[in-house]
Structure 1
Amino acid sequence: MDFVLVGLLLVASLVQAEPSCPKGYQKVGDICVDEDECQDIRCGKHSICHNTLGSYYCTCQTGFFSKTPNFTTITGQCRDIDECDSEEHMCGKNGSCLNSIGSYHCRCDNGYSNYGNNQSKCTALKCERANSTSEPVDTVMGGLLNILTSTCQSLSRPAGQQLTGKEHAGETLLKELLSVSEAVVLGGALNHSATLSTFLGAVEETMHLISPQLNHPLTRIHNNVSEAWLAVRKDRSPPNGSVLLTMDDVHLNMSWETAVGSSYPGYAYVALVSYKGLDSRSSPVQVSEELDMSQRNATYQLNSRVVTALISNPHTQALAQPATLTFKHLQEGSVSEGLNYSCVYWEETPSGGVWSGRGCVKAELNSTHAVCTWSHLSSFAVLMALYPIKDSFELVWITRVGLTVSLVCLFICIFTFCFCRPIQGTRTTIHLHLCVSLFIADLLFLFFISSTGNKGACAFVASLLHFFFLAAFCWMLLEGVQLYRMVVLVFHTTLRPLYMFIVGYGVPLAIVLISAAAFAKGYGTDRHCWLSLEEDFIWSFFAPVCIIILLNSFFFIVTIWKLAAKFSTLNPDFSKLKKLRSFVVTAVAQLCVLGGMWVFGCFLFQEQGTLVMSYLFTLLNSLQGALIFIMHCLMSKTVREEYSKLFGTVCPSQKKRYSDFSTNQSSNSQQPLKSLQSTGESEI
């Protein structure tokens, strides 16, 4: 009976007991949770434990292998991989492979390097430019070539002596490169094609040496002149997809497959270097024959940043997929008959280098940007081609007819000022020499402005035009001074002839001589016998003209203010003030005509003269003689009377008619300004 009772109690306890957890799980409270077998040492040496629900498995560390892919035994599964035991080992043909437990490293032959990446293939070092440059170039850019040479020497050392111990060796070298490049650009050493080729080539080769030493995926360093942006990948498998490097004024878009090329040494990079300080003034703008023939008679300017694009692929002369560069124009402008843009790269030649358009697969150009697609890599930019404004039929005939009329009017003015006795005086002498200067200048302009066949004769014509146009403005300045003296310095109303000739002809002669000594090539261009736009030589004319206009404006403002003060008082000699007022009005009108003409000319002779400015300048320039004749002859009562007498001598009937008219008019006036065979100024 007792045995039965015990058996029943045992069965009851088994029925009431909770079920146990499955294998690989453990009971926590009332539930079963997964047991992390990897907390205990479940895998052998050189292996990695991976926990799963209810189980685990082991894999070998990098550099080891196992015959069983996923194993759960404790020992004896992972064995060292001998990376060097292959016909084509990891270091390539130009290096020796040294195996170690779980790893290996490469020792490169002389002239080859893996750039501090000891498990990458050994590739050839490109250090030819550092050893083959001429002494003058080496003197100019010694610092840049020293970086290239020292980096090459360091990378040529055995593996244990290379730059592996420096954590940021690549970044340090890159900062030093940009610093030296800044000094070269700011030093003005790139004004010859040979030095520019050496500079761009040395920067590119040094970047090839530095880029594999960078450890960050993206590196961007810049200073006041240069900027560099690099993307670097160091994966076991080659990277893929697109890579985009963006700067303020240029973007580079290409694929990683193109950057890697046919062989992958264990790293790949894409780099873009921008030179902010390189422009048309600091570097030569020489174009290839092919580009010059397609854009004949054009002048060129760099209209974008000069950039150097490079990749780890050593074969960049024919890319599998083209690279696209997007430039922002430095000077915005719509493409027109006078303006065009070209995508160019710097092509090295035996004599130095030229900007060429060969290899540009596609170019999309607008007023703000240029999208250039290239089949090769080098240093690139955008050229702005400026075409001279073609002389239209209308402009040519306006010039010829207007100048002919002006020459006739100026001749009459000269004749009048020489032989009309009642108006003789200081102002008449100034007007006479003003008309003589303009007459000679217009005569040269009409017949010799386009005589560019003989450069010497063309330069002589340009210098004469420079002299006589400046002389006209100097005589106009003398008129402003004379009017000022007449109103403000009443008792000193005449200028000595010697002083007038020194200012009227001596100052222009001095300016022309100094300009010719400073830049003799500035006289004469390919299209006209006038001043060149190169080196801002045109300002040897515009600067004196602007100064004269400002001085005359000052004199006329003071004169008008003083004249207004005299009119406000009860001055009994009112008729003399009226005559003085007429002098001032004609002088101001003359300043507006001559000064306004060359204000328009200042805009016209800039790099982009517009058609409207051309018509305004041509019209005012060709009719200035006629306007002077109207202001100083036809609007003068005394001169009209002399013309009437002269005309009456030829036609007596006209003389009688005019005499009757003048008698009637004179009876109604006091004639206060009757000439006393003295100067008009002394009368006032």
Structure 2
Amino acid sequence: MRYYQSWWSIWFAFDMRSGKELFILGLLCMLGEGLCECQQGLYSVGRRCIDVDECHEFPDVCGKHTNCTNTNGSYYCQCLPGFNNIKGTVNFTGLDGQCQDNNECTDNHYINICGHGGNCSNLIGSFQCTCHFGFTNNRNRQGSCIDINECNEAEMKEYVCGDKGTCNNVEGSYWCKCPQGYTNYGRERIPCSKLDCDGFNAKNESVTLLGGLADILLMMRNNCLALSNSSVIGEAKADGEALLQKLFTTTETILSSGSLNSEDVTRLLSTVENSILLIGPQLNDSYKMLETTKRDVEIAVHRGKTRPFGSIHLTTEKASLDTDWTTAVGTGPYTGFALAALLIHRNLELSGNHSFEELTKYEKDGVHPSFQVSSAVASVVVSNPSTENLSHPVNITFRHLQDIDESPEVKYICVYWSERGTWSTDGCYQKQSNITHTLCTCEHLTSFAVLMALYPMKHPFGLLLVTKIGLTISLLCLILCILTFKFCRSIQGTRNTIHLHLCICLFMADLFFLAGISQTKTLGGCRFIAVVLHFFFLGVFTWMLLEGVQLYRMVILVFNATMRPLHLFLIGYGTPLFIVIISVIIRSNGYGTVRHCWLSLEDGLIWSFFGPVCFIIILNIFFFIITVWRLVQKFSSLNPDLTKLHKIKAFTVTAIAQMCVLGLMWIFGVFLFEEGPTFVEYVFTILNSLQGMLVFIMHCLLSKQVRDEYAHFLAYFATPQKKRYSDFSSTNPSSSQSQGSRSGQQTGESQI
């Protein structure tokens, strides 16, 4: 009986051993009874019973997360802190207990273990407290959060409420009370900043002369005084968005009242910039963008106890700003606010166009250029009080009002609006420029823009002389052509009507070309001249197409070849008018360039002219080929009416020669309106200036009927008055016959 008891006690003591170890111990007990005579938890060594250290011999006897304690003849287990026995007892053995994690965050024994200033997070065998803002870990009691007294913190005391602010600690936070003249814009944990409400003084006489500016100053002054007199948290916390909208509405009213002089522009820009500095800290968001019909603004605001760092990128449709928070804050004391704003004035680009007195250094070879504002005016506003000489320059990218590439005749200049009411370039430089944008870098901050300096093109004296003399001769010849086709009765007919209106269109085109092709100073006037030239040059080619159609009808139809004048007018003037109206509606900005009052070559508008011209020339070539082919057939046959064929032949030759002159002129004209070789300019100028004279020679001097009319006209004035009267009396009957004969000729030619 004692043998079995000893064996089972050994098995219970060594329950964590492997099967091999248990087998050996059991075998020893059966071989020698003396080895098993000791009590449970002891083993025999000779005649002595020695305690078995179960905790040392069997490390896993208690399981995980436990402490094992050996006793004489036995052992017991206890759970580590943060763990509990699943059986509920404190002491246990490997057979009657096991440790599991204790969730301190939900256990009733640890109610509110982190306090109301923190959140509890359970861990395996432990927990962690995350303290709320304004609380910190309690050094005396691990795992709990206590309030931070910001007003007594040594590292925060200097700037927590500013030099003049009074700090009041509350549990988990604090608030600053600002004296009169200071404000934290209703943000209780922001240092107090001094306000200068006298800067918004509306009692100046010059201010009252600019309608609406006094309203802005009064509105800003009242808001400033409300901020500086507030003593209760949140009392002066205004709606910054609404105040910004009121500022823009009032500003647009000022600008819509009429053009402003330089002093008005200076006062208005300064007032708006100061207003942005006052409104920005009152915005609820750290980023605000507002767009109106005449204003765009993008504002970035930083609030906090520490200085902000990093880059700033503000962008609008008309311009973009690249700077950093170090530049926006400056090197002075940090007040808890940092602001950077980009303000775009959409309709100020013309207000300062006549204030270029300080740009004399841009004269080239003694020639003073004309200047135009080529971008919207952009104001850059930052909270840095010292913006006269920045430690790091800012970069401003402007979108051009017109897409024009820089060339020897065009130069883009980065400028700012000075307090003297003029555009100046000191401290602003052009970094790069292309057709659409110019990048400016500036070492100070105010209102900026991009100017376009236009240098007059230097044409050789000979080219100008040829142009003026040739176009003058051409205009005189076209006047003779118009009078001839209008009053010469012997040549009246459909072709005469076509020639008459072709000459009228060519006369008007040459007249506007001579008087206005280079009048680019006024944008509206230049665009009007370009539209007129577009219409009349298209009219020239349209009437030339009608002449080709008429020749085709004369050869193919022979009889009933006349066309109604109404149909001629609808096609001859209606087609160019339709094309011009569509072009103006689709792309009106393409009319007028910085060099010429003509169609722009950059945006494809030029094809509204060259497209129809190419189509007309190709169509006329087809008509002329058919006409010549039929004429050859008629001349090869026995046709008794050779007089009519000779007339058609002469008409065809002159029409082809006319088309060649006009078509060749505009082939060279494609290259004229870009800077090109002098040879091209001379060829175009000669053909353009002498085309009126060539039309007079081909259609008047080479026509026998017209020469006869000229001779009769000159003879009439060269004959004495008495002889003219007697001849008129004696030849009156025959005169009637000749009129009848001419009438017959007219009818026959109409049939031709």
1:344 aligns with 2:415: yes
**Which protein shows a greater Rg?**
2
Equivalent pair of 2:41/2:74 in contact (CA under 8 Å): no
In the alignment, which residue of structure 1 is the partner of 2:462?
Answer: 397
Which amino acid counterpart does residue 486 of structure 1 have in structure 2? Q
Matched, 1:385 2:437: no
Conserved? CA contact 1:343–1:357, under 8 Å: yes
Per-residue CA deviations over 1:533-564 (Å, capped at 9, x if unaligned) read: 41533466555555555556565555554454
Counterparts of residues 248-327 of structure 1 (less than 5 Å)? 248-261=317-330, 262-280=332-350, 283-295=351-363, 297-327=368-398
Distance across 2 between alignment mates of 1:97 and 1:180: 37
Find out whether 1:329 has 2:397 as its counterpart: no
Q: Which moved more, 1:37-46 or 1:211-220?
A: 37-46
Relative to structure 1, the CA distance from residue 145 to residue 62 in structure 2 (aligned partners, 3 Å threshold; closer, same or farther) is: same
Judged with a 3 Å threshold, the aligned counterparts in structure 2 of structure 1 residues 346 and 489 are, in CA distance, closer, same or farther, namely: closer
> What corresponds to 1:464 in structure 2?
none
Closer, same or farther: CA 84–391 of 1 in aligned 2, 3 Å: same
Instruction: Tell me the distance in 1 between the aligned counterparts of 2:405 and 2:236.
Output: 52
Which residue does the alignment assign to 1:661? none
2:81 is matched with which residue? 23
Q: Would you say the 8 A contact 2:207–2:214 is kept in 1?
A: no
Q: 1:273 to 1:599 in 2, by over 3 A?
A: farther
Shift of residue 389, structure 1, vs aligned partner: 0.9
Deviating more after overlay: 204-213 vs 144-153? 144-153
Are the structure 2 counterparts of residues 79 and 195 from structure 1 closer, same or farther at C-alpha, using a change threshold of 3 Å? closer
For residues 3-30 of structure 1, give each alpha carbon's deviation from its aligned partner in whole angstroms, at most 9, with x where no partner exists: x999978999978876322234445794
Question: 2:242 matched to 1:172?
Answer: yes
One-letter amino acid matched to 1:217: S
TM-score by length of structure 2 reads 0.58
| Residue in structure 2 matching 1:203, options 255, 272, 291 | 272
For 2:368, give the aligned amino acid.
Answer: N
Match of 2:230 in 1: 158
Aligned CA distance change for structure 1 residues 99 and 340 (closer, same or farther; 3 Å): same
Q: What residue number does 1:134 align with?
A: 206
Letter in 2 for 1:253: D
Unmatched 5+ stretches in structure 1? 411-434, 440-471, 516-522, 644-672
2:492 to 486, 510, 518: 486
Counterpart Cα distance in 1 of 2:319 and 2:553: 63
Aligned residue number for residue 698 of structure 2:
631
| Deviations, residues 56-105 of structure 1 (Å, cap 9, x unaligned) | 79899766899xx7221799986845469999664445x44252434554
What CA distance in whole angstroms lies between the structure 1 residues aligned with 2:527 and 2:115? 86
Partner residue in 1 for 2:282:
213
Kindly indicate whether the alpha-carbon contact (under 8 Å) linking 1:154 and 1:162 is maintained by their aligned counterparts in 2. no
Paired residues of 1:285 and 1:354 also in contact (CA < 8 A): no
Contact 1:130 1:148 in 2 (8 A): no
Q: Which amino acid aligns with 2:280?
A: S
Give 3-state SS (helix, strand or coil) of 2:211's partner.
helix
Whole-Å separation in 1 of the counterparts to 2:450 and 2:544 = 49
1:618 to 685, 699, 702: 685
Distance 1:75 1:549 in 2: 90
Q: CA deviation at 1:202?
A: 2.7
Q: 2:194 aligns with which of 113, 120, 123?
A: 123
Tell me if the contact between 1:473 and 1:545 (Cα under 8 Å) persists in the aligned partners.
no
Distance 2:232 2:395 in 1: 40
Are 1:148 and 2:220 matched, yes or no? Answer: yes
Identical-residue share of aligned pairs (%): 30
Q: Is the 8 A contact 1:127 1:148 kept in 2?
A: no
Shift of 1:212: 0.9
Supply the distance in 1 between the matched residues of 2:468 and 2:324 (Cα, whole angstroms): 63
Structure 1 residues 379, 641: closer, same or farther in 2, change over 3 A?
same
Q: CA deviation at 1:208?
A: 0.9
Tell me the secondary structure at the aligned position of residue 372 of structure 2.
strand
Q: What is the DSSP-based 3-state SS (H/G/I as helix, E as strand, rest coil) of the residue aligned with 1:371?
A: strand
| Contact persistence 1:403–1:623 (CA under 8 A) | no
Whole-angstrom distance in 1 between the partners of 2:397 and 2:160: 38
Greater alpha carbon shift after TM alignment, 372-381 vs 151-160: 151-160
| Change in CA separation of 1:326 and 1:547 when aligned onto 2, cut-off 3 Å | closer
CA deviation digits over 1:240-297, x for unaligned, max 9?
12222233453322221222222111121222223344444xx332454443322452
TM-score (norm 1): 0.63
Aligned residue in 2 for 1:354: 422
- Among candidates 367, 371, 374, match of residue 442 of structure 2: 374
Contact conserved, 1:137 with 1:195, CA < 8 A, in 2?
Answer: no
> Cα distance, 1:189 vs. partner?
3.7
Q: Do the aligned partners of residues 551 and 369 (structure 1) sit closer, same or farther apart at CA in structure 2, a change above 3 Å counting?
A: closer
Instruction: Give the Å deviation of 1:397.
Output: 2.3
Pairwise CA RMSD: 5.6
Deviations 1:424-456 (A, max 9, x none): xxxxxxxxxxx6x538xxxxxxxxxxxxxxxxx
Q: Where does 1:567-606 land on structure 2 (aligned, <5 Å)?
A: 567-570=555-558, 575=643, 579=647, 582=650, 586=654
Match of 2:305 among 210, 227, 236: 236
Q: Distance in 1 between matches of 2:480 and 2:341?
A: 59
Aligned 8 A contact 1:473 1:548 in 2? no
Query: Any idea what the Cα deviations from partners look like across 1:625-678, whole Å, max 9, x if unmatched?
Result: 6635653577456899999xxxxxxxxxxxxxxxxxxxxxxxxxxxxx9xx999
Q: Which one is further off, 255-264 or 538-547?
A: 538-547
What does 1:76-91 correspond to in 2, within 5 Å? 80=149, 82=151, 90-91=160-161
Equivalent residues of 1:84, 1:97 under 8 A apart? no
- Give the superposition deviation at 1:237: 1.0
Which amino acid is the alignment partner of residue 184 of structure 2? Answer: N
Give the AA of the match of 2:459: D
